[in-house]
Amino acid sequence: MGILLIHILNALLYASVLFLIAGGLSLIYGVMRIVNLAHGNLYAIGAYVTAWVVGQWLVGAPTVVLYLLIPAGALAAAATGAIIEPTLLRPFYKRAEEYQLLVTFGLLMILEDVVRFIWGPYPLSASVLWSELGSIAIGDALYPTYNLLVIAVGGLAAAFLWMFVYRTRFGVVLRAASQDMRMAAALGINVNRVYVQAFTLGCFMAGLGGAIIVPSQSAVLGMSVDALILAFIVVVIGGLGSLEGALVGALVVGVVREAGIALFPEIELAILYLIAAIVLLVRPAGLFGRTA
């Protein structure tokens, strides 16, 4: 019983972080119709910044302060997004989609090395926050308390986002923009502002994913590309542009990954793609996607 619960918690842990990454990707696509190949890098930036603040810069500070500084990575990712959108992406909205993919691929290469330049090639860790909280007993086994915190943050983020998109004025604007940008523009919505806000919010989510997971696993080079691939599976299953889809997709991927690690480690990723392929064959736009 305890073992099963631990597996479920692990699946939720994966799902929380994946939801943050894929939700951001999906939000950006929904509003701007851009697939950002550098999205994983923003997740990495979130992880690196938090690990650096907690593990190097303020090492020795009171732990309460350190816990409060976890969101620093998310803010850094959001700031990066707020710079990237107007400077690099804006010139491409009127051009063919291929160019948008290409420019974000270039961005991926650049950000990958910028991270290496700033923090060097070695892993960066903030494990003090992870070990500080200790473990709790679940059945006969021990489970890291910090992981529960991550799950809680993931759940809260989903709830906040839902409220934000469906219960605030800004959410209305976002949804209008994702329905029909030209119509929204005709109604007096400042498109440029909506774009930069949506992109920043999407990057914030990715950064938050990196920031909350980094105490339990170090920030390493290459984490961005791995995360991007998993986020793609999530959005392919859930439907690109849908937040509900990102949530369900993240849960599916989380459960399959956890089961995969225990039962079929070799073909875990292949199984995920198989599921994605089946979803696509049955529902081409994903479980929650709109057909274009």
Residue 171 class from Cβ within 10 Å (0-12 exposed, 13-18 middle, 19+ buried)?
middle
Q: Please list, in sequence order, all residues whose beta carbon lies within 8 angstroms of the beta carbon of residue 66, skipping any fewer than 6 positions away.
A: 54, 58, 128, 129
Interface characters, 240-259, with other proteins (x: CB under 8 A): x-------------------
User: Which helix (H) or strand (E) is 143 found in, with range?
Assistant: strand 141-144
Contact status: 284 vs other proteins (CB under 8 A): yes
Contact status: 103 vs other proteins (CB under 8 A): yes
Q: How many residues does the chain have?
A: 292
In whole angstroms, how close is the CB of 279 to other proteins at the nearest point?
Answer: 11
* Alpha-carbon span 73 to 79, nearest angstrom: 10
- Judged by CB under 8 A, which of 64, 182, 265, 291 binds other proteins? 265
- Judged by CB under 8 A, which of 112, 177, 243, 253 binds other proteins? 112
* Cβ atoms 201, 24 nearer than 8 A: yes
- Judged by CB under 8 A, which of 14, 130, 146, 232 binds other proteins? 232
Per-residue burial over 99-119, b = 16 or more CB atoms within 10 Å of its CB, e = otherwise: ebeebbeebbeebbeebeeeb
Contact status: 134 vs other proteins (CB under 8 A): no
In whole angstroms, how close is the CB of 109 to other proteins at the nearest point?
Answer: 3
**Interface with other proteins in residues 34-63 (CB under 8 A):** 35
- Between the CA atoms of 3, 158, 201 and 175, what dihedral angle is there, to the nearest 10 degrees? 140
Q: Which is nearer to other proteins, 128 or 285 (CB)?
A: 285
Contact status: 91 vs other proteins (CB under 8 A): yes
Summarize as ranges the residues that interact with other proteins (CB under 8 A): 35, 88, 91-92, 95, 97-99, 101-103, 105-110, 112-114, 116-117, 225, 229, 232-233, 235-236, 240, 265-270, 273, 276-277, 280-281, 284
